Structure formats: C-alpha cells, structure tokens
Structure 1
Amino acid sequence: MLYQVLIVVYLIVALCLIGLVLIQQGKGADMGASFGAGSSATIFGSSGSGNFLTKATTWLAIAFFVISLVLGNLTANRVKSGNEFDDLSVPVEQSIPAEVPAATSAEPASENTDVPASTETKPKSEGDVPN
C-alpha cells in the first residue's frame, strides 16, 4: 500500500516539477525587460516570479529525490516471486508428444446434411477409375 501511494505522489511531484521548470524564464529574459520589452509586468509583480518559483522548484526537486531514494530502497529490498523459468540451474525436461490421437467418441459421427447425397448406387471396386 505504501509503495502505491509513493508512486502516485512521485508522479504528481514529477509533473509539478516539469510544469514549474517550463513556466520559469531563463536568465536572459531579464535583460530584455530592462530594455523595455514589457515582460516585467507579470502576475507576481514587477520583481518577477523568480523568488517564488525558485523556492517551489527547489522544494519539489528535494521531494523528488527523497521519494526516488525511498522507492529505490523499497524496490531493492522487495523479494520477487519467481517462477520455473527464473531458475536456470536445473534444465526443464522437454517432452515432445508423439502424434496427437484423434478424438474418440462413443457416438458415431453424424452425417453432414449440408452436402448433397451421391447419386451413384453401385459401390466402387478397387479397379474402377473415377470419372
């Protein structure tokens, strides 16, 4: 249960971290604002969003790395349930079946009524050649 909760939190933190990194402006964007590019008027004020986004990115990155280490530790200590194909020390005996016998049934096979009956009344002998 803890593993699944950590995976969900890990994915949410990763997506938030990606979003915050994409929202942030590069270091060169401040230079354009000083020459009158007009990008200094943002939602976070004229000082920009650097302080808030930088702190949020830092805390999300710390959470991301901590959860990564915890998940790695949980996964390393987890014992997998194996099957017979994981143990390669003992060869698996291969038994090739002979011919598969036809299905035998106590009931006689019923005739297929979709096929028209033969009009020939005389039984064929071994010497007859089909027409």
Structure 2
Amino acid sequence: MTSTLLIIQFVLAIIITITILLQKSSSIGLGAYSGSNESLFGAKGPGNFLSKATMTLGLLFVINTIALGYIYNQQKMESAVDSVKTETLIPTTPKETTTAPAAPNAAPVVPTIPENK
C-alpha cells in the first residue's frame, strides 16, 4: 500500500510542476512550447482551467502526503528503544560453575596402577 501511495506522490509532484510551469506568467514559462493554448482550453485561455487543475492536484498531493504519513506512523508504532536488546548491552560476569560435592558415605576413588610381573 505504501509503495502505491509513494508512486502516486511522485506522479502528482511531476504533474503539479508541469501545470504550474504551463500557467501564463510574465516570462510565459513552458506555455510558449505548448503552442496555441487558446484553441485547446477555450476562448478565455488556459488560465482558469490550469488554476483549477493546479488547485485540485495540490489538494490531492496534500491528502496523499497525510495518508502516507499516517500509514508510515502506524507501521512504526514501536520506538527504536523498544527494539534494543538490553541483555547484550549490559556486560555480566559469567556464572561460576560449581561441582556437586561428593556424597559423604561414598568411598574415595583410588586410581589403581597395574603391577608389572
């Protein structure tokens, strides 16, 4: 879901940039490269259509940004501190291994040495 919204975000950013550059300005912008805009958008020119398109695309861009922020926030609800393993960070001394004491009534084990005859 997030990858789809991220792709939509990039596409919206590119389309908004193009619509802003196509609008009539003092230096004409990219509108000079698009040919006769009056015949395409009607007698009043592209001003009204492009301003409405820019407003709509801007609104979609903001809504998509809020949706992306919400989804990323839901995926990352736990803090980075919660995922740190504290057992590996705190040095501990190894426990001493003790052997069990011998039974009190057990006979001592005496190694036998074979006699050479």
TM class, shorter-length: 0.5 to 0.7
Extract unaligned runs of 5+ from structure 2.
29-34, 92-117
- CA-to-aligned-CA distance 1:4-56 (integer Å, 9 cap, x gap): 11111111111000111111122x469xxxxxxxxxx9323452210110111
Picking from 23, 42, 49, the partner of 1:52 is 49
How far apart are residue 80 of structure 1 and its match? Answer: 7.7
Supply the AA of the counterpart residue of 1:57.
T
Equivalence for 2:99: none
Which structure shows the higher helix fraction?
A: 2
Q: Which TM-score applies when normalising by structure 2?
A: 0.54
Q: Distance in 2 between matches of 1:24 and 1:5?
A: 29
SS of the residue corresponding to residue 37 of structure 2 reads coil
Extract unaligned runs of 5+ from structure 1.
31-40, 94-131
Equivalence for 1:103: none
Q: Which TM-score applies when normalising by structure 1?
A: 0.49
Equivalence for 2:16: 17
Supply the AA of the counterpart residue of 1:62.
L
Distance 1:15 1:92, change over 3 A: farther
Picking from 71, 76, 79, the partner of 2:73 is 76
- CA-to-aligned-CA distance 1:42-101 (integer Å, 9 cap, x gap): 323452210110111011000000000000011111138999xx62855276xxxxxxxx
Equivalence for 1:3: 2
Following TM superposition, where does structure 1 have runs of at least 4 consecutive aligned residues deviating by more than 3 angstroms?
Answer: 80-83
Conserved? CA contact 1:42–1:48, under 8 Å = no
Q: How many residues align?
A: 80
Same amino acid, percent of matched pairs: 20
Q: Distance in 2 between matches of 1:80 and 1:73?
A: 11
